[in-house]
Amino acid sequence: MRTAAPLLALLPVAACATAPPPAPLCWRSLAPPTGDEHLGLAHTNPSLASNGADDVWLSWNDPGARVLRWTRGQWSPIAVPVPPGVKATGDPVVATGPNGAVVLALGANGKDGTSPLHIARSGGGDAAAWEWLGSPLISAEVPFTHVTDVAVAMDAAGFPVVAWSEEVHVKLGGVFVARWDGSSWKQILELHPANAHYRLSIGVAVDGDDRVWLTWIEGGSPFAAAGVRVARIDGSRWTDIGRDQLQSLVSRRGSVGAPALAVGRDGKAWLAWVARRGRVGSLAIAHWDGSRWTALSPPDVPDGEVGEVAMMLDGGAPTIAWSQRDESENRHLYLADLVDGARWRVRLAGFHLVEGATNVGDIRLAPGPGGSRYVSWDEGGKDRRRNRLMHAYACAAGETPAAPPKAVVERETWPKTVDEAARRIVSEMSPESKAKVRATPEGDLILYHHGWGMGIRNSMGLWRDNKELLDSCGKGQPVHPDDCSMQIIEAVWKLLQQAPAP
């Protein structure tokens, strides 16, 4: 990658001698009507699917399952089905297939502390008539077994293939793949990777020969995974795809984060991941030509820390999207297409939809009509919304891309004291969020450490050396970001106790 100054608009990125000329995409925001969303949560875990035309499905956790559908130029909220005997569902994953088939995977609490996965299917239309496909997916109803890290693909017949991992007492319980055959689930893979972190970033795909492909990271921690695996499942047999060669490519770049797999009908595959050295990430890409993996040079854009990556195929060639930190210290969206089998054409650079200090995350891609793309991501803003959806398309004659809003240096927006941080959070909270936190017993605030607390640590620079705020938390003594975020949560709680309830 080059080291020229980044661009913060939909403008052509300077190209090297061998790169094709950039062709920025025009775009329009589809602005999903999500209502107020909790800006402090670390993740909303969105998923995105489309039939390649003007029919798009967006799902996310808020904190229960939410689903919206964009079709015929307008949004429709979809009533999320609830399995018999279940009070609530969460962590939805949506997928679409041939003939208008839509599949929705939903997590729910079961007996003995288990969390199985329920799969519902609709034939499209108004999506009112969901049917449950077989029994819930879980390897065994051992107490405190939780299905997690779910990925769904659809085969040519419109039947779902579901991959997931399980954790048992906060340890990895295995990796599983099951396939719906029209009447029941058939488990086609069970693996128990050694020394693996239980968050595996699983991806699944089906090729033109009806073979199932799977990818996951293994070993180490979320910040230092040892490697990435790609396997192909044909009937009851599975094969590692170039395991030693792929591991050699990975080890040259550093550890692995957030792999994305795309497989063509011809059985050729592309894999992209965030190559980490410590906490700094860069973009890495490899191509499987049927016999070997080949490393591809990443798109030619200014250097910047990469956070995550998404990928899809368009006419057999990959489109890749990723988030990257730029000179404004914000993490923004980039998108590029592979042309001529080896060269990337940058289509979006430094894109975002929120004015000021923003961070783009949880990127998803889906095909649109005429080679266009739908892109969704998580980006919180003053409008109290997080889930964004954009339709990016080739500009018409005489049309030029609109510039994104103005960005500001995020570091300049960081609060410097615990009181300032708490008052800012309270000013941005919805009435529902205020009521929930106000009603939480002080001794239970630790329950917010992983979700809300992670959002505070990330957005307020606690992992990026916000010295003033850390000093305020520690009163001049060293303090860990985890402890600092809990002090801020406690300060928010105290402010809400002092304020009169509405």
What is the DSSP secondary structure assignment for residue 410, as one 8-state letter? G
Domain presence at residue 357:
yes
Distance CA 91, CA 85 (A): 18
Half-sphere exposure of 253 (CA within 13 A, CB side): 27
Residue 121, strand partner residues: 103, 131
From residue 330, give the alpha-carbon distance in Å to each of 111, 352, 423.
43, 10, 23
**Predicted pLDDT of residue 223:** 46
Domain presence at residue 231:
yes
From residue 247, give the alpha-carbon distance in Å to each of 189, 233, 346, 368.
22, 20, 28, 34
Distance CA 371, CA 312 (A): 12
**Predicted pLDDT of residue 135:** 94
Q: Are 165 and 266 in a shared domain?
A: yes
Domain presence at residue 8:
no
Distance CA 94, CA 67 (A): 9
Q: Average pLDDT of 425-452? A: 91
Q: Are 235 and 363 in a shared domain?
A: yes
The pLDDT of residue 21 is above 80: no
Q: Are 370 and 418 in a shared domain?
A: no
Least confident of 35-39, 229-233, 396-400, 422-426: 35-39
Say whether 127 sits in a helix, a strand or coil: coil
SS3 per-residue string spanning 91-116 = EEEEEECHHHCEEEEEECCCHHHCEC
Q: Are 469 and 363 in a shared domain?
A: no
Could you tell me the pLDDT band of residue 501, with boundaries at 50, 70 and 90?
low
The single residue listed with the structure tokens 């519902």 is 120
Q: Average pLDDT of 197-224? A: 81
What is the DSSP secondary structure assignment for residue 465, as one 8-state letter? T
Q: Are 83 and 139 in a shared domain?
A: yes
Distance CA 52, CA 226 (A): 36
Q: Are 236 and 267 in a shared domain?
A: yes
The pLDDT of residue 62 is above 90: no
Task: Please state, as a whole number, how many other Cβ atoms lie within 10 Å of the Cβ of residue 169.
Answer: 11
pTM value is 0.83
Domain presence at residue 14:
no
Q: Which two tokens stand for residue 201?
A: 């970033």
Q: Are 230 and 327 in a shared domain?
A: yes
Q: Are 213 and 269 in a shared domain?
A: yes
Residue at which a domain ends, from 393, 426, 458: 393
Least confident of 204-208, 220-224, 283-287, 436-440: 220-224
**Predicted pLDDT of residue 1:** 35
Distance CA 217, CA 93 (A): 20
The pLDDT of residue 237 is above 90: no
Q: Average pLDDT of 417-434? A: 92
Domain presence at residue 43:
yes
The pLDDT of residue 473 is above 90: yes
The pLDDT of residue 5 is above 50: no
Q: Are 43 and 100 in a shared domain?
A: yes
From residue 133, give the alpha-carbon distance in Å to each of 11, 107, 180, 275, 422.
47, 14, 8, 38, 46
Distance CA 194, CA 189 (A): 16
Domain presence at residue 17:
no
Q: Give the range of the structural domain holding residue 147, as residue numbers without chain letter.
A: 26-393
Domain CATH for 111: 2.120.10.70
Domain presence at residue 12:
no
Number of structural domains in the chain: 2
**Predicted pLDDT of residue 4:** 31
Q: Are 422 and 381 in a shared domain?
A: no
Task: Please state, as a whole number, how many other Cβ atoms lie within 10 Å of the Cβ of residue 295.
Answer: 15
Distance CA 298, CA 344 (A): 7
Domain presence at residue 192:
yes
**Predicted pLDDT of residue 128:** 60
- Name the percent of the chain lying above pLDDT 90: 62
Q: Are 303 and 434 in a shared domain?
A: no
Least confident of 248-262, 277-291, 349-363, 372-386: 248-262
Q: Which two tokens stand for residue 133?
A: 């496909």
- Name the percent of the chain lying above pLDDT 70: 90
Cβ distance 39 to 386 under 8 Å? yes
Q: Are 161 and 260 in a shared domain?
A: yes
Q: Average pLDDT of 99-104? A: 90
User: Diameter of the chain by CA atoms?
Assistant: 67
Average per-residue pLDDT in the chain? Answer: 87
**Predicted pLDDT of residue 278:** 67
pLDDT in tens, 142-173: 898 999 999 999 999 999 999 999 988 878 88
Angle between helices 452-459 and 481-498 (to 10 degrees): 110
pLDDT in tens, 357-376: 888 999 999 999 999 999 99
Residue at which a domain ends, from 327, 362, 393: 393
